[in-house]
């Protein structure tokens, strides 16, 4: 099979005529695969809550001692990682924000979540 170049820099097998009903897509026109949120370690998650969410070290210590958040800390302790789109992550961020441990709010943390 012989490959030839046409005037539009299309590569066609020898004897193949381009179909005028279909446009030619160049590599630069192919969209990148959508990025997905990275899976974080527990330390990376807490760091994100501090950097993006505005949680200070004092707030972190107070939040860990708050009985209203006991279930959150138990679940986080049992987790092997933290996923952005897990419903428990959203619920935990909501609870931290409602109790004023995330001054910048849940949305700030989610918006700053790194991509894989």
Average pLDDT on 23-45 reads 84
Rounded-to-integer distance, Cα 73 and Cα 19, Å: 61
With bands split at pLDDT 50, 70 and 90, how would you rate the model's confidence at 19? low
Rounded-to-integer distance, Cα 39 and Cα 21, Å: 43
- With respect to residue 63, please indicate whether it lies within any of the assigned structural domains: yes
- With respect to residue 31, please indicate whether it lies within any of the assigned structural domains: no
- With respect to residue 34, please indicate whether it lies within any of the assigned structural domains: no
Rounded-to-integer distance, Cα 104 and Cα 100, Å: 9
Say how many domains are in the chain: 1
Global pTM reads 0.71
With bands split at pLDDT 50, 70 and 90, how would you rate the model's confidence at 96? very high
For β-strands 3-5 and 11-13, DSSP reports them as antiparallel
- With respect to residue 50, please indicate whether it lies within any of the assigned structural domains: yes
- With respect to residue 29, please indicate whether it lies within any of the assigned structural domains: no
Average pLDDT on 35-55 reads 97
Taking phi first (over 0 means left), then psi (-120 to 50 degrees means alpha), and beta for anything else, what does residue 84 get? alpha
The residue segments making up the domain with residue 94 are: 39-112
- With respect to residue 7, please indicate whether it lies within any of the assigned structural domains: no
Question: What pLDDT score was predicted for residue 20?
Answer: 66
């Amino acid at each position: 099979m012989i490959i030839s170049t046409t005037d539009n820099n299309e590569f066609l097998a020898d004897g193949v005529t381009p179909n005028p009903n279909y446009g030619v897509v160049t590599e630069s026109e192919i969209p990148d695969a959508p990025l997905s949120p990275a899976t974080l370690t527990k330390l990376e998650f807490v760091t994100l809550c501090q950097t993006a969410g505005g949680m200070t070290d004092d707030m972190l210590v107070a939040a860990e001692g708050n009985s209203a958040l006991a279930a959150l800390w138990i679940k986080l302790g049992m987790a092997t990682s933290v996923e952005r789109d897990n419903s428990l992550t959203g619920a935990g961020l909501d609870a931290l924000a409602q109790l004023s441990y995330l001054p910048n709010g849940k949305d700030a943390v989610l918006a700053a979540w790194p991509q894989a």
